[in-house]
Amino acid sequence: MRKSAVAVTFLLVVSGCGGNSDTTTVAPAATQAPTTTAALATTVIPTTAPETPSTPSPTAEPAASSETASSELDQAFVLAVKDFIATEWVGWPDGVILGECLATNASAIGDPAKQGVIDYGLEKVYDNISQFDSNSLSVVWDSCKTVDTSSKAEVAAEAVENRPDAPTFVPSTSSSPFSDGVETAFKAAVDAEFSAAAEKAGISVAVFANGSLWTYASGIASSIAEMTPNTPMLIRSTSKTFLSALILDQAEQGLFELGNSLQSVLSDHPDYPSLDTAIFNPAVSINEMLSMRSGLAPRDPLAAGASDVFSNIEWRPVDILKLSKAPWVEPGNFEYSDTNSVLLGLVAEHHGGNSLNVLYQDAFFNPLGITAGLGPQDGFPLNTARPYGDLTLLAEQSNLDISGFGDEIEAFHYLADPRDWYAGSTRLGWASAGMFTTAENVARWAYELYSPDGRAISPSNRTRLLNSVNAELVNVENRMQRYGYYITESEVVLGDQRVVTVYGHPGGGTNFISKLAYSPELDLAVSILTNSPMGYAGSCPDHSADKSQQLTPQLCIVQEIFAAYTGTTATSAIDPPTTTAKPAQDNTHSTELDGSEEAGSTSSVEDIKQFTAECSFNEDLVEISCTAVGYPSDSVLRWESTASWASNNGPFWNFVVNPELLESSTEVTVKECQGTDCSSLSVLVDTSAALGN
Q: What is the mean pLDDT of each run of 10 residues along the chain (693 residues)?
A: 30 28 35 33 38 37 43 90 81 76 89 92 90 88 74 58 88 90 95 90 96 97 96 98 98 97 97 95 97 93 82 93 94 96 98 98 97 97 94 72 85 75 95 98 98 96 95 90 96 82 95 96 96 81 60 89 73 28 36 35 37 86 84 79 78 79 89 79 89 72
- Closest by CA to 137, choosing from 248, 4, 10, is 4
The DSSP bridge partners found for residue 204 are: 217, 529
Please state, in angstroms and rounded to a whole number, the distance separating the CA atoms of residues 557 and 573. 21
Burial class (CB in 10 A: 0-12, 13-18, 19+), 144: buried
Q: Could you give the dihedral angle defined by the CA atoms of residues 208, 247, 166 and 443, in that order, rounded to the nearest 10 degrees?
A: 10
CA 148 to chain centre: 33
**Domain 576-690, what architecture?**
Sandwich (2.60)
pLDDT of residue 38: 32
At 447-492, the pLDDT tens digits run 999 999 999 999 999 999 999 999 999 999 888 899 999 999 998 8
- Closest by CA to 293, choosing from 430, 466, 431, 474, is 474
Please state, in angstroms and rounded to a whole number, the distance separating the CA atoms of residues 227 and 508. 18
Helix (H/G/I), strand (E/B), else coil: 528: strand
Ordered by start, the domain boundaries in the chain are: 3-161, 576-690
pLDDT of residue 378: 97
pLDDT of residue 14: 26
Strands 588-593, 611-618: pairing is antiparallel
Residues 33 and 93: beta-carbon distance below 8 Å: yes
The DSSP bridge partners found for residue 300 are: none
Residues 682 and 578: beta-carbon distance below 8 Å: yes
Helix (H/G/I), strand (E/B), else coil: 681: strand
Helix (H/G/I), strand (E/B), else coil: 396: helix
